[in-house]
A and B are shown apart, each in its own frame.
Chain A
Amino acid sequence: MLNSNYREVETLDDGDAQSSALAEAQTHQSLLRDLKRAVRHVCPRSLAQDAEDLVQESFIRLLRAHKLEGQSKLSGAYLKKVAYSAVIDEIRRRRREPAAGLASDRVDIDAAPDLMQEEAPDTTLGNAMEVSLQRLQPDRRRALTLHLLGYSVPEVARMLECNAKRADNLVHRGLAQLREFLQEMGVHS
């Protein structure tokens, strides 16, 4: 009787462990997918093309490091943050490698047809914007930078800890002044 109960518990434990491992694997797969999609969407083409390899390598390195530290399981929001950090570290590492940097400036059109469909953004304009932004009053520069990064006005307000009206004014005035500076530099949007 006792043995039978013990076997039952053991079986249940095995089952729990299996489903826990399965759930963990699913979480990892889902996060890997999100990371790859994010890298493809956000990173420059040279890195976006390598999204698969870049994310996979970062993730494996991350899991190995945590196993060595004796942390068997990573989950939830914490996993997302550390995986994000691993990817950024990997991007920075690759950028520091001169050979990789040179190679990455070339885009293989056949290998990335979807990446070539969109019109190439204007890097001259982008570089001029960076210079012009530094000439703005700090609050305007911050509000406009956040909006250019993709935050809505209410989100800009939360980031700056001001109200939506002020955030809206800062964005609009910053944008108007940015246009003036760009015109001065002979660059037009």
Chain B
Amino acid sequence: MSDARREFEILARAFAAREGRHDSSSACPPAEQLFEAASGGLDREQRLKLVDHVSQCAECATAWRLAMELGARPANTVEVRGRSWAPSFAMAASVILAVGLTTYVVRQGREESPQYRDVAHRLAPVSLIGDKLSRKGDVLRWTPGPEGSTYSVRLTTADLVPVLETRDITNAEVGVPAAMLEKVPPGEQLLWQVEVRLPDGQRVASETYVVTLD
């Protein structure tokens, strides 16, 4: 287990072991609602309200985890954008994405001001590979920054288990040896992101790319 994974496990266990406030039950949502929300049910606003409650109520977090133990999980029905685009449509998709992202950022900005600075940065690295990764070994490649830039790359499973992490490399590509992909099942989706450190010390991260292992 990697250090990052171990640290996350410690945090998750500590989060589960918070001391409950025994006088909070009257303000807690009914159990049926928690089960529905844990299953991805209810409308989005209601669901998020319950997630907010669970983030500060240890007892309801326990109830939520109990629902998950009984199989309450969100169904795979929400379309995940950007995964199934064919490479031949990449250019058109980029235009649509740019327009869509701008609209999204503007709309979101009015609500909660998410920080998309890195994604929108003109020097943010952009993937030069498709959405597939060969388990026989492959290369992650991206647009290079100005001369003197260095890069840090992170490749993880969808559960955020690290597969590859490299820091301060000078080439705008990194090999992914077959040995590192041995334990990842075929068809698994992996996430990767690269952060460039510009010659002036500024760091700019790419968006997170999704690739499917063959």
Chain A residues proximal to chain B, CB less than 8 Å: 34-35, 37-39, 41-44, 80-81, 84-85, 87-89, 91-92, 95-96, 101, 120-123, 125-127, 129-130, 133-134, 137-139, 141-142, 145-155, 157-161, 163-165, 168-169, 171, 173, 175, 178, 189
Contacts and interface: CB of A to CB of B under 8 A. Distances in A.
Contact of A154 (B14, B69, B80, B209): B80
B15 A141 contact: no
A142 B112 CA distance: 13
B115 A189 contact: no
Given A85-B31, A139-B112, A158 B76 contact: yes
Contacts of B65: 42, 149-150
B37 to A, nearest CB: 8
B16 A126 contact: yes
A189 B73 CA distance: 28
Contact of A125 (B11, B20, B70, B209): B11
A26 B40 CA distance: 28
B31 A89 contact: yes
B31 A149 contact: no
Interface of B: 7-8, 10-20, 22, 25, 28, 30-32, 34-35, 40, 44, 47-48, 51-52, 54-56, 58-59, 61-71, 73-78, 80-83, 112-115, 158-160, 189, 191, 193, 207-210
A126 B31 contact: no
25 contacts: A42-B65, A42-B69, A80-B71, A85-B30, A85-B35, A88-B31, A88-B66, A91-B59, A121-B10, A125-B10, A126-B17, A126-B19, A133-B56, A137-B114, A141-B55, A142-B48, A147-B160, A148-B15, A148-B16, A150-B12, A152-B158, A154-B158, A158-B78, A159-B74, A161-B78
A86 to B, nearest CB: 8
